[in-house]
Amino acid sequence: MESLGKTLKSIREKKGLSLKDLSLETKIGRRHLEAIEDDRLDFLPGGFFTRQILKTYLISIGEDPANWLPKYKEAGLIESETPGGLASKPPKSRHRLRLDKVFWISIAVLVLVIFVVLIYLSISTSKKSVDARKNAPGAEETSNVILPEPLPSDLPVTETTQPAVEEKTYEGLNLDLTFNEDCWIQVFADGQLAVDGLKLEGYKTSVKAASELIINLGNAGGLSFTLNGKAGKSFGKRGEVIKNIRITLDNWNDFLQPGNNPE
């Protein structure tokens, strides 16, 4: 019996569709499309993102996802959705995540303790230094030091001004991304793929383009960004899939938070 991926590959080839055509149409990387047809869904981001990629692929070759997703679930290739819309993780995965969380919490507590101890030692050392200066011979004599007389008020006073801080200038489009949650993303800079795949919480990256940025997101509310040094507003809600976000030199101000728009 032919596997699910091989069956879908035969359907695609009969319709005269190439993987290159599908990649351009769906904005899904070719290696992800090949993974679907090779029944290697473990190469995909996993959970919610894997189902979204699979649904997009099925629709692009003219197949109904409702007819195929149950087959993938029955074969154990994808996970079932929970009422909240995200896939449930196996118990081992949850257990591993709990252990990872305990480990990082322990590291954070240890760093905090070290930080507090260093502050205490710094304050204690400073206090001893001040006391030593007060008790040093001649410390009281400093009060008898003769201060220079103030200058006559009729002398000309030269005003000095601090040089103005120059605001950093940007050429083109400069996008700085910070991932607050796991998020699947693609970013095209002037037509070239610059960022692709699942990015984990805490990951940061930057993309520069001369005139245009195209962004596809699998979790629109899972990241924050700055555009040409100014804070941007959210692309969408948490868990929301948004495609073809187009940022150009003419409209980039529309993606900034209120108050950051120079216009």
Is the distance from CB of 207 to CB of 249 less than 8 angstroms? no
Does 235 map to a domain?
Answer: yes
Domain containing 250 equals 173-255
Q: According to the model, what pLDDT value does residue 99 have?
A: 67
Is the distance from CB of 35 to CB of 9 less than 8 angstroms? no
Give the model confidence (pLDDT) of 119-173 as tens digits.
Answer: 888 787 777 766 666 666 554 444 454 555 655 555 555 555 666 656 678 889 9
Tell me which of 12, 40, 74 is where a domain ends: 74
Does 137 map to a domain?
Answer: no
Q: Which residue has the tokens 């002398």?
A: 155
Number of domains in the chain: 2
Q: According to the model, what pLDDT value does residue 18 have?
A: 92
Rounded to whole angstroms, the Cα distance separating 13 from 30 reads 15
Read off the tokens for 223: 């990241």
Tell me which of 74, 95, 128 is where a domain ends: 74
What's 61's domain CATH number? 1.10.260.40
Is the distance from CB of 81 to CB of 90 less than 8 angstroms? no
Does 119 map to a domain?
Answer: no
Does 97 map to a domain?
Answer: no
Asked if pLDDT for residue 11 goes beyond 90, the answer is yes
Does 105 map to a domain?
Answer: no
The enclosing H or E element of 176 equals: strand 173-179
Rounded to whole angstroms, the Cα distance separating 244 from 47 reads 22
Report the Cα–Cα distance between both ends of the chain, in Å, rounded. 63
State what percent of residues in the chain have pLDDT above 70.
75
Strand order in the sheet with 212-217: 192-199, 183-189, 212-217, 242-248
Angle 97-46-195 (CA atoms, 0-180°, nearest 5)?
Answer: 105
Does 210 map to a domain?
Answer: yes
How high is the mean pLDDT of the chain? 81
Tell me which of 56, 74, 92 is where a domain ends: 74
Asked if pLDDT for residue 260 goes beyond 80, the answer is no
Does 48 map to a domain?
Answer: yes
Give the pLDDT band (50/70/90) at residue 87: very low
Q: According to the model, what pLDDT value does residue 141 have?
A: 47
Is the distance from CB of 218 to CB of 161 less than 8 angstroms? no
Q: Give the range among 13-17, 78-82, 85-89, 208-212 with minimum mean pLDDT.
A: 85-89
